Amino acid sequence: MKITVLTGAGVSAESGIKTFRDSNGLWEGHDVMEVASPEGFKRNPEAVLDFYNQRRRQLLTVQPNAAHCALAELEKTHDVTIITQNVDDLHERAGSTKVIHLHGELLKVRSTFDEDLILDWREDLNLGDFCEHNHQLRPHIVWFGEMVPMIETATEVVEQADAVLIIGTSMQVYPAAGLVQYAKPNAQIYFVDPKPSISESKNITVFAEKASIGVPKVVELLK
């Protein structure tokens, strides 16, 4: 069975990664546009690089949780593709092999001259770190106002799915929010979130639980 999994901040929050919209979340004390837009980077590149350096350092101290591990386990019996809004590598570390990152990856950087020149990066990124063309490197993150290059690939994956799992995301951030409408009419949809934004129907099963509790239950159902 082809299974597509859409994951958001709620999956990583339990590993200790601060989430975008929580009251004690990531962006407090930071105007989003200052740290997550091309304009902010132009205005104050040092502040933006420092912000992502802190996020990167934090990522290297946390581990995948039960939700990540259950999804990796599902690959043993089904054809699973994960589409994530998260910029961490916790799905990969848990063992998932097909992961599409809609919003980029924290452990990669790219050239400001050639956006296809992408490098693996686990250290701090500083002003003066240049690509081979002598241009500044920037975080490989999709900032506000930028295109989401993987959205078409993600749409195709959803269209082909027999089952769609939606985990730890309010599904309010576009274009990701629009993805579920591409599911086949008879696709089974499983929604795992402590505060679910959709209700159950014939083909929608809701688990109003945090990811580490709800995801293993869904995986057990699908085995």
Which residues belong to the active site? 103
SS3 35: helix
CA–CA dist 139, 125 (Å, integer): 8
| Concatenated DSSP letters of 61-107 | T----HHHHHHHHHTTTSEEEEEES--S-HHHHHT---EEETTEEEE
CA–CA dist 160, 135 (Å, integer): 40
Q: Which residues pair with 164 in a beta bridge?
A: 4, 189
Pairing of strands 163-167, 2-7: parallel
The radius of gyration computed from the CA coordinates of the chain, to the nearest angstrom, equals 18
Residue with tokens 């990856």: 105
CA–CA dist 49, 41 (Å, integer): 8
Residues in CB range of 122: below 8 A, 6 or more apart = 56, 60, 107
CA–CA dist 31, 9 (Å, integer): 19
CA–CA dist 110, 152 (Å, integer): 21
